[in-house]
Chains A and B, each alone.
Chain A
C-alpha cells in the first residue's frame, strides 16, 4: 500500500502553522468566553474599537496579525499570553521530510497483507 506525504517545506510550514496556532488560540478563547459569558463579535469589536468585519476576518481567516493585535485580543478577552521558544528536538526528521518532498512511498507490509488475503 502506498501513502502520500503532503509537504510544503519546513520553513514555510513553521510560519503557516504558527499563524494558524495563534488564530486557533484566539478562537478557542473567544468560543470559551462566548459560552461562559455573553460576549460576541459585536462586543469584541466595540471593545477593540474596530469594525465587526475586522474581528470576523481575524477570527475566520488565517491573518498574519501583529503582536500588538494579538495582545489587544488577549486584553479584550481578559486572557494572558504565554509565548515560549524552545529548541527543536526533531530537527533530523524535519530534514528527512524536506528530503522526501511530496512523493508517494511504498509500504510493503500492507501490500503483503492484502496479497495474503487474495491468496487465501
Chain B
C-alpha cells in the first residue's frame, strides 16, 4: 500500500508543481524554480510525500518531547550502521559513537539549551539555512522544517567532514554537504515553506526552560 500511496502522491506532487508559481524559496538554488504550494496540506502528510520519517529516542520526560527529528531512509540506514559498528571515539570521548548520538538526540528532543558559542557548539549554522548538530566524533547536517523540527539529511564522522585524521589530505566536505542538502531540500519541495531561514539559534529552536 505504501508504494501505491507514494506513487499516487508523487503524481499529484508533479502536477501541482507544474502549475505552481514562484514564491520565495529557502536556499540560493531555488530562486528561479517553480514553487509548490503545499501549505494546504497537513504537515505530516507532506512529510510522507517528502519521504521524511520521524526519528524518536527514548524520552525520559518530563512531559512530551519538546523538539522533533526527521530523516529520510538513507539517513536512517546510516544510523543503523553507526549502531551496528558501535565504534569507539577517535577524539578522546569516553562515549562510543551510538552513545554520543543518543546524547545529542536526547538533548535536542528534550528541549535543553544547545550550546553554540565559539568554544562549545552542539549546534552551529551553516549558510543556506543548513544547520549542523555535532558530537565529538559525528556531524549531523540538515535544516529546520519549522521551528523545533529538524530534518536530518547527512551523518558523517567529524574527521571525514573536516578532511582530518585518517582523511587528512582530502578537502573539507562542508561545501559539498551544504550544496547537497540545498539540492535535496529543493527536490523534496521543502525549500518553499518547510524551511526556516535564519542564522540565530532562536530562529530555529526554542528552549524548554525559557518558555
State the A residues within 8 Å of B (CB). Answer: 1-8, 10, 12-13, 15-17, 19-20, 24, 27-28, 31, 41, 57, 59-64, 90, 93-94, 97, 102, 104, 110-111, 113-115, 117-118
Contacts and interface: CB of A to CB of B under 8 A. Distances in A.
A27 B92 CA distance: 17
Dominant secondary structure at the A interface: helix
B106 interface: yes
Contact of A60 (B1, B60, B80, B119): B119
Closest CB pairs A-B (n = 3): A16-B99, A20-B103, A64-B94
B80 A3 contact: no
7 contacts: A4-B76, A6-B105, A17-B60, A20-B107, A31-B117, A62-B93, A111-B1
Contact of B91 (A61, A114, A117): A61
Contact of B58 (A20, A59, A97, A111): A97
Given A13-B58, A24-B107, A4 B45 contact: no
Nearest to B89: A61
B98 interface: yes
Contacts of B83: 6, 8, 102
Contacts of A115: 5
Nearest to B45: A114
B75 to A, nearest CB: 9
Contacts of B99: 8, 12-13, 15-16, 62
B23 to A, nearest CB: 20
Contacts of A27: 115, 120
Report the contact-size class of chain B (Cβ under 8 Å from the partner). 35 or more
Interface stretch (B48-56, B162-170, B179-187): B48-56
Contact of A16 (B9, B56, B103, B120): B103
B113 interface: yes
Contact of B56 (A6, A57, A118): A6
Nearest to B56: A5
B119 A17 contact: no
A4 B5 contact: no
A17 to B, nearest CB: 6
Interface string B51-80: 001111110110000000001000010011
A6 B119 contact: no
B48 A57 contact: no
A57 B103 contact: no
Given A6-B79, A8-B102, A16 B95 contact: yes
Contact of A113 (B42, B56, B91, B106): B42
